[in-house]
């Protein structure tokens, strides 16, 4: 099962669960109940929820920040300057070597775009926002040679789906394949 299928199934499960909760609330809305015990239970549940989120969320946040992909690029990285515009990408180079870090400096001339790099199987390997007035830096080291597609990841107008370009990653030693 692909990650996409899994997230689709999880989304459906969450939608069904939410629908069930709403239906239950709607069906029981007419019944009279004493307020105090309900409130006590709800406050206890809220406290558990809060501390559960703190206990799980805090370590998860620290751990995820540690592996965030937006770390500073090492010196000597291959640099690609990329500019998004309605509706095309402008790259100052389209050939990079695998196994060495590539720093993408990404910006936009008009509206927000999403700079998404996809491998030959259609898997998203890295992404960053392309924003007017800012240059965002994305560092990625390709570990597989091939032709990667760059697609816009954020709806930016009528021809958003046409915002595509390619970048070629060559194996160390200069052969591509």
> Which residues in this chain contact Cu ion in the complex, by CB under 5 A?
152, 156, 160
Q: How far is CA 171 from CA 97, 99, 145, 167, in A?
A: 6, 8, 5, 13
Q: How far is the CB of 3 from Cu ion (least distance, A)?
A: 22
Given the complex with Cu ion, which of 153 and 169 has the nearer CB atom? 153
Given the complex with Cu ion, which of 71 and 164 has the nearer CB atom? 164
Largest CA distance in the chain: 77
Question: What single DSSP character describes residue 160?
Answer: G
Given the complex with Cu ion, which of 152 and 167 has the nearer CB atom? 152
Chain-centroid distance of CA 73 in Å reads 20
Q: How far is the CB of 83 from Cu ion (least distance, A)?
A: 13
Q: How far is the CB of 110 from Cu ion (least distance, A)?
A: 11
Given the complex with Cu ion, which of 95 and 162 has the nearer CB atom? 162
Relative to beta strand 95-97, strand 164-170 is parallel
Alpha carbons within 13 A on the beta-carbon side of 133: 2
Q: How far is the CB of 138 from Cu ion (least distance, A)?
A: 17
């Amino acid at each position: 099962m692909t990650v996409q299928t899994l997230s689709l199934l999880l989304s459906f499960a969450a939608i069904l669960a939410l629908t069930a909760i709403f239906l239950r609330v709607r069906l029981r809305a007419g019944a009279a109940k004493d307020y105090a015990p309900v409130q006590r239970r709800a406050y206890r549940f809220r406290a558990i929820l809060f501390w559960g989120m703190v206990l799980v969320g805090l370590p998860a946040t620290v751990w995820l920040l540690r592996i965030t992909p937006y770390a500073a690029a090492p010196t000597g990285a291959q640099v690609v300057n990329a500019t998004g515009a309605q509706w095309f990408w402008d790259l100052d180079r389209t050939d990079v070597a695998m196994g060495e870090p590539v720093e993408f400096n990404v910006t936009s001339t008009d509206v927000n775009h999403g700079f998404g790099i996809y491998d030959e199987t259609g898997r998203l390997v890295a992404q960053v926002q392309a924003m007017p007035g800012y240059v965002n830096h994305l560092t990625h080291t390709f570990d597989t040679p091939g032709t990667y597609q760059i697609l816009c990841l954020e709806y930016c107008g009528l021809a958003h789906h046409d915002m595509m370009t390619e970048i070629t990653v060559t194996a160390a030693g200069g052969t591509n394949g």
